[in-house]
Amino acid sequence: MFEVDYVPAVVPLFYLRVCINRRLNTDNLPNCAGRGSRELADRLEKQMIAESLPTKVLRGPCMNNCQIGPNIKIQAGEMLNLNCDVSDASFEAVMASIRAEVQKRKDAAVAAEPL
């Protein structure tokens, strides 16, 4: 027998993809990392862990919506364009969307269970 704590695997209900692209800015276009998306991804991840939400953050490349970033995509769900706003209010709005999506998927899973 192994002398380690057993940690059950948690399969996320969905992924939250956060654009963390940083441009070299030779073209003077905005980019999500330049608007704080990397710090935002860390903060979202910490909050989701603190609330035990069954989701995971994926840090990803450009989503071609650079003008209205930072951009966040709920997998198979809502696209959130923060439009330069990484304030606490905006963070809370993103968290509210994540909580709503978790609840929606949990409800759908219960409804799909056989009687």
Give the footprint of ligand FES on this chain (CB under 6 A). Answer: 19, 21, 31-32, 62-66, 69, 71
Q: Is 104 left (phi over 0), alpha (psi -120 to 50) or beta?
A: alpha
When the beta carbons of 3 and 27 are compared against ligand FES, the nearer one is: 27
Shortest distance (Å) from residue 52 CB to ligand FES: 28
Q: What are phi and psi of 73, to 5 degrees?
A: -125, 125
Residue closer to ligand FES, measured from CB, 68 or 100: 68
Contact 91, 40 (CB under 8 A): yes
The nearest distance, CB 41 to ligand FES, in angstroms, is 12
CB of 76 to ligand FES, least distance (A): 19
The CA distance from 108 to 3, in Å, is: 39
Two tokens, residue 27: 């073209």
Q: Which of 36, 99 has the CB closer to ligand FES?
A: 36
